[in-house]
């Protein structure tokens, strides 16, 4: 596969945007252009004085101009203030909900085309000024005819074409990497891009997002941990979604949280519990929990309640990954590094020939220094980076299906670090994991399994006698067929035995007759070999004839 002309143009456009915002040093710092760095100072745009903006602002504007995929990357980075300079992290945080909006009139037109009727027929009021604007869609406040306050989410016009263009470029780069890069087999770049492709196209479908929100709302019905707003289904389409409006404090506004007396320690701990509840109890988790999508109920101070929005990216785990991850986390919290190593081998994440003791020692070296330390003293992002480096040494393969989980874990840790840096992540999570494992493997799990299977047992029980009788008849028929087959095999064996005996007798008879012929034919023409040769020949010939008669079939 080679880069197509359209993709070359896109690469040129990316470089143009970098130059436009004064980030041409990024281009000249790459391995390919490093030898030409000295000539960068002679480029024409260097001759024209440019208004110098702060570097964080230039990076943010560059990502906005490059489109949704680059904005998504900036959103992920924005949650990791421990990994970025403060000025850049602050600017990137604006990508969470302050991406330049498109006109309210365009939004009205999209909604009216989706409903095939005027806006006034559905809403009593509609605010043309968006409440928030992100890379995929923007949100407007509105009021339904029955007086309920809602928000209306509208997908950006033409955004799918832009996304598809950049995804094709990513696929091309990933395919070339997989073909020519030695580490590609372990990192699965094409699979990773495919996973991202699926995720971002799911985010474009607001019907899917509404269904995700409904499921998450059911999962936490009656919970005092998190509140999920209700979807207004009559007003929801593929590119328009209507949802209950919530009011809360942005979780990134720590100053306002403190002013309202929110217990930040409890808030951070509850965030950890929400994460583990979604992942291990439900295997269905909000995978885009950056600060722009999370608010806090201002009226619940000592037992804070999270308010979640934007459910376009939801992660799920298959039963095998679900179980292995749970056991990995529990072994990790118990510092049972040998079990962690064994689970990686059992799951196929590292080659089966890996020495368990060596892998165990490598994991211990990475993980042991972080225990008994608060979140403010460690970096889970740095820990993951070191684990990936260790994994490269042991040929550990990237699991594309777990990328959303890793992204969510980094988001949760980033928010926890901002809320309450003294949080002991391990002490908070360990009791929950132990309780979850008891529920999965203990008597309660058996009872739940029986309760789950009871309806099917009730359907199957009345038919059980008839099915049992048919099964016994089939077994009896099978036994009769086996008996008949055994008799046939015995008969074949007898035939083969008789046949081999006949064959031997025929060969012996033929040999005797040939010997008789030779003795008789050569008598008088050659020196006498045996006294009385003619008589002996006749005797041998007779014996040969008798042997042939004995071997002749009787049927």
Tell me the per-residue pLDDT of 247-295, one tens digit each, with 9 for 90 and over.
999 998 899 999 999 999 999 889 888 988 888 888 898 988 878 889 9
Greater pLDDT, 145 or 367: 145
Active site residue 253: no
Which 3 state secondary structure label does DSSP give 152? Answer: strand
Q: Are strands 137-144 and 132-133 parallel, antiparallel or unpaired?
A: antiparallel
Question: Would you place residue 114 in the very low, low, confident or very high pLDDT band (cuts 50, 70, 90)?
Answer: very high
Calpha distance 154→91 (Å, rounded) = 25
Q: Are 89 and 78 in contact (CB under 8 A)?
A: yes
Nearest partner of 412 among 285, 303, 249, 310, judged by Cα: 285
pLDDT tens digit sequence for 316-342: 888 887 777 778 877 887 888 898 888
Of 60-74, 231-245, 327-341, 393-407, least confident by mean pLDDT is: 393-407
Calpha distance 153→140 (Å, rounded) = 6
pLDDT for res 308: 93
N- to C-terminal Cα separation, the chain: 74
Enter the DSSP assignment of 279.
I
Of 35-44, 158-167, 325-334, 437-446, least confident by mean pLDDT is: 35-44
Question: Would you place residue 528 in the very low, low, confident or very high pLDDT band (cuts 50, 70, 90)?
Answer: very low
Q: Are 430 and 333 in contact (CB under 8 A)?
A: yes
Query: Which residues, including other chains, have CB under 8 Å from residue 239's CB and lie 6 or more apart?
Result: 110, 114, 154, 155, 206
pLDDT for res 461: 67
Query: Which residues, including other chains, have CB under 8 Å from residue 484's CB and lie 6 or more apart?
Result: none
Integer CA distances (angstroms), 3 to 7, 8, 169, 175, 432, in order: 6, 7, 8, 10, 49
Containing 240, the helix (H) or strand (E) segment is: strand 240-244
Q: Identify the burial level of 271 via C-beta atoms within 10 angstroms of its C-beta, where 0-12 means exposed, 13-18 middle and 19 or more buried.
A: buried
The residues facing 486 across adjacent strands are none
Q: Are 86 and 56 in contact (CB under 8 A)?
A: no
SS (H, E, C) 95-124: HHCECCCCCHHHHHHHHHHHHCCCHHHCEE
Q: Are 404 and 318 in contact (CB under 8 A)?
A: no
pLDDT for res 418: 81
Integer CA distances (angstroms), 487 to 47, 194, 357, 480, 499, in order: 101, 60, 58, 11, 18
Cα torsion angle, 272, 277, 278, 283, sign = positive
Percent of the chain residues past pLDDT 90, beyond the cut = 22
Helices and strands (H and E) in the chain: how many: 22, 11
pLDDT for res 240: 96
Q: What is the largest CA-CA distance in the chain?
A: 137
Active-site entry in 82, 97, 166, 288? 288
Please, what is the average pLDDT of the chain? 77
SS (H, E, C) 281-319: HHCEEECCCCHHHEEECCCCCCCCCEEECCCCCEEECCH
pLDDT tens digit sequence for 24-61: 655 555 444 455 444 454 455 455 555 567 878 888 88
Question: Would you place residue 526 in the very low, low, confident or very high pLDDT band (cuts 50, 70, 90)?
Answer: very low
For 144, the token pair is: 């339904």
pLDDT at 544 over 80: no
What integer is the mean pLDDT of 74-96? 70
pLDDT for res 329: 78
The residue ranges of every structural domain in the chain are 1-52, 254-441, 464-551
Which 3 state secondary structure label does DSSP give 526? Answer: strand
pLDDT for res 191: 77
Calpha distance 281→448 (Å, rounded) = 13
Residue for token pair 């064994």: 342
What integer is the mean pLDDT of 489-498? 69
Nearest partner of 294 among 273, 317, 267, 269, judged by Cα: 267
pTM of the entire predicted model: 0.68
């Amino acid at each position: 596969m080679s880069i197509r002309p359209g993709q070359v143009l896109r690469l040129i456009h990316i470089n143009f945007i970098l130059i436009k915002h004064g980030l041409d040093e990024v281009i000249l710092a790459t391995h390919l252009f490093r030898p030409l760095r000295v000539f960068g100072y002679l480029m024409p745009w260097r001759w024209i004085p440019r208004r110098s903006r702060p570097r964080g602002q230039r990076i943010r504007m560059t990502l906005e101009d490059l489109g949704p995929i680059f904005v998504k990357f900036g959103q992920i980075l924005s949650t990791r203030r421990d990994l970025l300079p403060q000025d850049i992290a602050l600017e990137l945080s604006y990508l969470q909900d302050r991406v330049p909006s498109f006109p309210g009139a365009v939004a009205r037109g999209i909604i009216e085309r989706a409903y095939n009727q005027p806006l006034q027929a559905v809403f009593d009021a509609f605010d043309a000024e968006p409440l928030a604007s992100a890379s995929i869609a923007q949100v407007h406040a509105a009021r339904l005819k029955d007086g309920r306050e809602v928000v209306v989410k509208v997908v950006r016009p033409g955004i799918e074409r832009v996304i598809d263009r950049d995804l094709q470029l990513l696929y091309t780069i990933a395919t070339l990497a997989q073909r020519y890069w030695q580490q590609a087999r372990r990192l699965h770049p094409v699979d990773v891009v495919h996973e991202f492709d699926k995720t971002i196209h799911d985010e474009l479908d607001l019907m899917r997002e509404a269904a995700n929100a409904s499921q998450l709302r059911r999962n936490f019905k009656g919970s005092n941990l998190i509140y999920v707003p209700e979807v207004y289904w009559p007003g929801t389409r593929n590119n328009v979604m209507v949802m209950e409006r919530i009011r809360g404090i942005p979780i990134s506004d720590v100053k306002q949280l403190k002013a309202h007396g929110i217990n930040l320690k409890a808030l951070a701990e509850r965030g950890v519990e929400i994460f583990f509840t979604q992942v291990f109890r439900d295997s269905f988790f909000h995978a885009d929990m950056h600060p722009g999508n999370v608010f806090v109920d201002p009226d619940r101070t000592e037992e804070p309640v999270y308010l979640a929005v934007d459910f376009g990216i939801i992660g799920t785990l298959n039963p095998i990954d679900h179980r292995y991850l749970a056991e990995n986390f529990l072994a990790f919290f118990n510092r049972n590094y040998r079990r962690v190593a064994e689970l990686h081998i059992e799951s196929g994440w590292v080659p089966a020939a890996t020495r368990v003791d060596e892998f165990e020692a490598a994991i211990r070296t990475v993980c042991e220094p972080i225990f008994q330390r608060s979140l403010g003293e460690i970096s889970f992002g740095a820990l993951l980076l070191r684990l990936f480096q260790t994994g490269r040494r042991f040929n550990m393969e990237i699991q594309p299906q777990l990328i959303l989980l890793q992204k969510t874990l980094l988001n949760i840790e980033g928010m926890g670090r901002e809320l309450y840096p003294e949080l002991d992540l391990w002490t908070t999570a360990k009791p929950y994991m132990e309780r979850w494992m008891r529920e999965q493997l203990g008597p309660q799990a058996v009872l739940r399994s029986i309760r789950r299977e009871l309806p099917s047992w009730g359907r199957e029980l009345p038919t059980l006698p008839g099915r049992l009788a048919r099964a016994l008849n089939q077994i009896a028929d099978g036994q009769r067929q086996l008996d008949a087959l055994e008799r046939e095999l015995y008969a074949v064996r007898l035939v083969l035995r008789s046949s081999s005996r006949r064959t031997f007798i025929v060969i012996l008879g033929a040999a005797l007759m040939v010997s008789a012929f030779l003795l008789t034919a050569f008598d008088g023409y050659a020196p006498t070999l045996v006294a009385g040769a003619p008589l002996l020949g006749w005797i041998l010939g007779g014996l040969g004839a008798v042997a042939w008669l004995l071997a002749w079939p009787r049927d």
